[in-house]
Amino acid sequence: MMKGFVVFIDRFKNQCYISKSKELYIKISFFREFIKYCDELDIAIIGIDFFHKKGKSVIPINPINSLDCSMLVKKSSSWREIVLNCNEEAVRVLGYEESNDNS
């Protein structure tokens, strides 16, 4: 699994930051391409937390905001449906956040 993660991340190394604990932070302006690639690989985005990165610091946005798609997972009947529903919701929420981003 780690090899697949490295290949996946290598594709986006200029658009993201990976913490020492392997958390992935992507630039908000890049989310559409990222989610499209997740769709192609059948990867569901189940949760998102929103942060600003300033230098080496990662700071939660204020007010704190996040996306939790666990209810969509419970309501879906197949993995593909989970991927489509969760990623569609991620696009919607990230689009809203992008339009309100003032960083």
pLDDT, residue 70, reads 93
Short-list 73, 75, 19, CA closest to 49: 19
pLDDT, residue 1, reads 46
Q: Which token pair is 84?
A: 């489509």
Higher pLDDT, 76 or 2: 76
90 close to 48: Cβ distance less than 8 angstroms? yes
What count of Cα atoms within 13 Å lies in the side-chain half-sphere of residue 24?
18
pTM of the model: 0.81
Tell me the C-alpha distance between 78 and 87, whole Å.
Answer: 14
